[in-house]
Amino acid sequence: MNQSTLPATLFRLPAWIGTLLVMLLLVSGRPAVAADNDPDQARQQLEQVAREMIQATNQRREEIKQNPKVVEELVEELLLPHIDLITASRWVLGKHWRRASKEQKISFMKHFRGMLLRFYSTALADYLDENTVDENLIRFQPVRAEAGSEDITVRSHVHPPNGQPVPVNYHMHMTRKGWKVYDVSVEGVSLITTYRNSFNDEIRRNGLDQLIARLASEDEDLVKQPAGANS
């Protein structure tokens, strides 16, 4: 994959951290455990998702070393059932989403998801080939918001093995199905905005159909790539 099409903020972090951030970006969240919309439930939700994913990848590390595609299977099993892909895609495409046909929207969502899933799953598989992931990698802070708030920010710090903690904020809103992430910012830079700016420039030059065709081609290439191709 051409890294120039990806948010530069991700490449200031180890690839495996970027993997977890994008996974959490796409998680729509589990239903709230209580009837009201307690903002701190959003933090608890993210902690649970991150813990389950980290534990699963560590427990199956040897299997992953033999078959990196296992990471994709874990993502499909643990995360993708909770993806709010429509919201993520709508924010990324911005004004172009409103103008897109139903067929274009469906195709974009399919290949955008595939691009994220396979690129970052491969990055995580490469990392797990030599390392385990610390369960305290991501440390979430209590949510400071009034009870009943429907749009909040869950703040966290990523603690890499070497270097200073990296601030990562999850922007979430309450939906009929519970709390959902609609954007993630790394060191103050929004991933959705970064993708939107990149895609907007490409759409302006070549059109939406050409962007979808490129994502489809890269998605197909990543399916064929052997382990370690993104290293």
Tens of pLDDT, residue by residue over 92-113, are: 999 999 999 999 999 999 998 8
Compute the C-alpha angle 59/61/62, nearest 5°.
115
What dihedral do alpha carbons 188, 1, 222, 68 form, nearest 10°? Answer: -60
Question: 127 lies in a domain?
Answer: yes
Q: Is 229 contained in some domain? A: no
Q: Which residue has the higher pLDDT, 140 or 2?
A: 140
- How many domains does the chain divide into? 1
How far apart CA 47 and CA 166 sit, in angstroms, is 17
Mean pLDDT of the chain: 77
Cβ distance 15 to 124 under 8 Å? yes
4 domain-assigned: no
Tokens of 79: 């995360």
Structural domain contains residue 2: no
pLDDT at residue 47 greater than cutoff 90: no
The whole-angstrom separation of Cα 74 and Cα 96 is 32
Give the contacts of 100 (CB within 8 A, at least 6 positions apart): 93, 108, 208
What pTM did the predictor assign? Answer: 0.76
Banded model confidence at residue 36, pLDDT cuts 50, 70, 90: low
* Strand, coil or helix: 178: strand
pLDDT digits (tens, 9 = 90+) for 145-173: 888 888 999 999 888 777 788 888 888 88
Strand pairing class (178-186; 138-140)? unpaired
Contact 19, 186 (CB under 8 A): no
Q: Which residue has the higher pLDDT, 32 or 181?
A: 181
Cα distances (angstroms) measured from residue 179 to each of 30, 68, 117, 208: 7, 31, 22, 30
Q: Is residue 5 part of a domain?
A: no
Residue 84: which domain range? 14-224
What is the CATH classification number for the domain harbouring 185?
3.10.450.710
